[in-house]
Amino acid sequence: MSSRIATIVSPPDHDDPGLLLRAFAPLHRMAMGFAFGTVSGGLLAIVSLILLLRGTDEARTAGGLLGQFLWGYSVSWSGVFIGLAWGFGVGFVLGYGFALVRNGMIWLWLTLIRSRAEMDQYSDFLDHL
C-alpha cells in the first residue's frame, strides 16, 4: 500500500509588503494607450461596416455626423479604415492620459499618506528630550 503524506497548508500571509506594492503598481502608459486604441479603433471600424452594409440614407447620415469631428471620415469602404485609424489615435490618447492621471493621483495619495504617518511618528519627538 502506498502511504499518503498529509501536507499542511499554511494560511496566506497578508502582511507581505509585495501585496501592497502590486495593489498600487503604476499602469504602463503605452500599454494602456495601445489597449484603448485597439478597442476604440475596432469598434469604430465595426460600426462603420454595419452602417455601410445597412445602406440606408438614415444610417449614412447618422454615421456621417462623425465626419464633422474626424477629418476624412465618411460611411464608405475607405471610411472604415480612416475610422480605424482615427479610433486608434483618439483611443490611444485617452488610454495614455488615463494611465498618466491615475498614476499621478496614486502617487499623490501615497505621498500624502506617507507624510501623515511620518508626522504622526515624530509629533512627540520633543517630549522625549
51-110 pLDDT, tens digit per residue, is 888 877 777 777 778 888 888 888 888 889 999 999 999 999 999 999 999 999 999 998
Higher pLDDT, 40 or 78: 40
Q: Is the pLDDT of residue 2 over 60?
A: no
d(CA 83, CA 79): 6
Residue ranges per structural domain of the chain:
30-118
d(CA 24, CA 114): 14
112-121 pLDDT, tens digit per residue, is 998 998 888 8
pLDDT at position 58: 76
